[in-house]
Amino acid sequence: MAGYDYDLFVIGGGSGGVRAARVAATLGKRVGIAEEYRFGGTCVIRGCVPKKLYVYASQFPEHFADAAGYGWRVPEASFDWPTLVANKDKEIARLEAIYKSNVDGAGGETFHSRAMLIDRHTIHLLGEDRTVTADQILIATGGRPAPHPALAGHEHCIFSNEAFDLKQLPKAIMIEGGGYIAVEFANIFHGLGVETTLVYRGKEILSRFDMDLRRTLHETMEKKGIRILCHSISEWVRRNPAGRLDVLLSSGKTLTVDQVMLAIGRLPNTENMGLEGVGVELGKTGAIVVDEYSRTNIDNIWAIGDVTHRVQLTPVAIHEAMCFIETAFKNNPTSPDHDTIATAVFSQPEIGIVGLSEDEAVKRFADIEVYRASFRPMRHTLSGRDEKMLMKLVVDAGTRKVLGAHILGPDAGEMAQLLGIPLKAGLTKEDFDRTMAVHPTAAEELVTMYKPNYRVKNGERA
Ligand SMILES: Cc1cc2nc3c(=O)[nH]c(=O)nc-3n(C[C@H](O)[C@H](O)[C@H](O)COP(=O)(O)OP(=O)(O)OC[C@H]3O[C@@H](n4cnc5c(N)ncnc54)[C@H](O)[C@@H]3O)c2cc1C
């Protein structure tokens, strides 16, 4: 080991890479980490963090409107996009500095450079025109928005990366995609006053979430004024003489907007990194293939996070980093646990879920009970906002175990985090029932739904 410059070299300074580098350095390992763009990676620079800040920004018009029912008269509000972008930039610059200094402070060495593999122990740092060697190499290069070269006029389109930093807020936007990024941005732009159309090829937005929530969110977004066109794709995008964009949809309809944002999936960053030369196995979409310990087919090369295309979420990349440290440096082989991951969609209203959707549970269990509550949250009584909150527990009738919890409504993401604990622990519906309610809250519904609304036995609703 002494023959190498580093015990560990990490490629990619995002959520997973920075965590692995920092913890390995804390253990006394000689660590280097290269980041080609900005430390913090997707989550901090152009993902979770700026997205959530923009979600907050976009919620104010509803808060102003809701205030009237509580006796407030709010003068007409105005919004300044450049102020939001500049304040967001300040905040992510602060976080970026913390990410880098956490590695430096732990004794790791940070490089602002693209890195590629020369052989199984040698890394070329392109920005420094320098080569370093390492005993263990961790690839944590994340992913990027999938391009859509088949779309005529794709060069006029933007992706989530650019959406954060538009020079000016468009008057109208079309977003193509039905995943959480598309849905969240549709709500953000709509909240900021942009005429928003969401175009999705599937039958309902947010595939893989519980159908009840998907439909209710769809209806609520439409009620707010977001146009959602399912079973639809764009055929071409053209700049018109007025400088706006015309989009022909598969339905034959044409939209005229100022921006088209594509959110049709993400691809792993594995190109031009020397992986093929070293013989690192890649999967169909270019993701790095790893075993249950995040080890590639080359035994000193590991990969974690989005680049492995397992579960593409920040806490998962961090968890995989911690498991990698246990396995590679603590002689304690530990597989990441990808089961029962709580997650949120920061749509408006928000979604928070953990565990199996009703449809998934029906496929896997012969007899399930569904507890469901749909109600107007208390805060909307005086505000007069016509928006329902939806909560659902999916229970295995045999073992009484709660298999899934699904929430649509204010603070659903916060609730999902806490529901992750009982579901991970395998608690039963009776454990929920024995838990005292916190009153008055929306979350109390979760422990007061005593009777199932319906049962599904062998796929048949009873
Ligand atoms: C718009 C958006 C919103 C999101 N919202 C959420 C959310 O709310 N919650 C959530 O949990 N997740 C969210 N995610 C997903 C989350 O950001 C990712 O799952 C997470 O960042 C993955 O971490 P990672 O370490 O695998 O990769 P990344 O964070 O992507 O880091 C990879 C880094 O590697 C660098 N890199 C790539 N190639 C090289 C190279 N050859 N040399 C040097 N450096 C290189 C990149 O510049 C990048 O900084 C969101 C993503 C997007 C795009």
Amino acid making up residue 456: V
> Which among 163, 192, 138 is positioned nearest to 7, based on CA atoms?
138
* 439: annotated active-site residue: yes
* CA atoms of 52 and 50, how far apart (whole Å): 5
142 close to ligand 1 (CB < 6 Angstrom)? yes
- Is 237:156 a contact under the CB 8 Å cutoff? yes
Probe residue for ligand 1, chosen from 54, 125, 141, 267 as the CB with the greatest number of ligand atoms within 8 Å:
141
**Residue 41 CA, ligand 1 centroid: distance in Å:** 5
Tokens of 139: 């690839």
> Which among 413, 389, 388 is positioned nearest to 55, based on CA atoms?
413
Q: Please give the torsion angle defined by the CA atoms of residues 267, 360, 316 and 8, in that order, rounded to the nearest 10 degrees.
A: -70
313 close to ligand 1 (CB < 6 Angstrom)? yes
Task: Please give the helix or strand (H or E) that residue 220 lies within, else none.
Answer: helix 211-224
pLDDT in tens, the chain (462 residues): 559 999 999 999 999 999 999 999 999 999 999 999 999 999 999 999 999 999 999 999 999 999 999 999 999 999 999 999 999 999 999 999 999 999 999 999 999 999 999 999 999 999 999 999 999 999 999 999 999 999 999 999 999 999 999 999 999 999 999 999 999 999 999 999 999 999 999 999 999 999 999 999 999 999 999 999 999 999 999 999 999 999 999 999 999 999 999 999 999 999 999 999 999 999 989 999 999 999 999 999 999 999 999 999 999 999 999 999 999 999 999 999 999 999 999 999 999 999 999 999 999 999 999 999 999 999 999 999 999 999 999 999 999 999 999 999 999 999 999 999 999 999 999 999 999 999 999 999 999 999 999 999 999 998
- Is 38:96 a contact under the CB 8 Å cutoff? yes
273 close to ligand 1 (CB < 6 Angstrom)? yes
- Is 400:428 a contact under the CB 8 Å cutoff? yes
Residue 167: partners with Cβ closer than 8 Å, 6 or more residues away = none
Q: Residue with structure tokens 């009776």?
A: 430
* CA atoms of 135 and 3, how far apart (whole Å): 8
* CA atoms of 324 and 342, how far apart (whole Å): 21
Backbone angles phi, psi at 395, to 5 degrees: -125, 140
**Average pLDDT taken over every residue of the chain:** 97
**Residue 351 CA, ligand 1 centroid: distance in Å:** 22
Residue 219: partners with Cβ closer than 8 Å, 6 or more residues away = none
- Is 366:326 a contact under the CB 8 Å cutoff? no
51 close to ligand 1 (CB < 6 Angstrom)? yes
Is 423 in a helix, a strand, or coil? helix
Is 192 in a helix, a strand, or coil? coil
DSSP assignment of 157-176: -B-HHHHTT-SS--SEEEEE
Probe residue for ligand 1, chosen from 38, 43, 51 as the CB with the greatest number of ligand atoms within 8 Å:
43
Tokens of 234: 């764009």
**Angle formed at CA 436 by CA 435 and CA 437, multiple of 5 degrees:** 115
* Residue minimizing CA distance to atom 30 of ligand 1: 142
List the strands of the sheet with 234-239, edge to edge: 234-239, 245-249, 254-257
* Residue minimizing CA distance to atom 52 of ligand 1: 47
**Residue 140 CA, ligand 1 centroid: distance in Å:** 9
pLDDT, tens digit, for every residue of 162-206?
Answer: 999 999 999 999 999 999 999 999 999 999 999 999 999 999 999
C-alpha pair distances (Å), 183 with each of 57, 139, 221, 336, 438: 16, 30, 9, 28, 31
Q: Tell me the sheet residues that pair with 431.
A: none
* CA atoms of 399 and 415, how far apart (whole Å): 24
Q: What is the pLDDT of residue 99?
A: 97
**Residue 44 CA, ligand 1 centroid: distance in Å:** 8
**Residue 303 CA, ligand 1 centroid: distance in Å:** 13
* CA atoms of 319 and 337, how far apart (whole Å): 8
Is 443 in a helix, a strand, or coil? helix
312 close to ligand 1 (CB < 6 Angstrom)? yes
317 close to ligand 1 (CB < 6 Angstrom)? yes
123 close to ligand 1 (CB < 6 Angstrom)? no
Q: What is the pLDDT of residue 2?
A: 59
Q: Tell me the sheet residues that pair with 138.
A: 10, 302
Q: What is the pLDDT of residue 462?
A: 83
* CA atoms of 50 and 202, how far apart (whole Å): 27
- Is 375:392 a contact under the CB 8 Å cutoff? no
314 close to ligand 1 (CB < 6 Angstrom)? yes
DSSP assignment of 39-66: TTHHHHHHSHHHHHHHHHHHHHHHHHHH
Q: Please give the torsion angle defined by the CA atoms of residues 44, 124, 331 and 420, in that order, rounded to the nearest 10 degrees.
A: 20
**Residue 224 CA, ligand 1 centroid: distance in Å:** 31
**Rg, the chain, Cα only:** 24
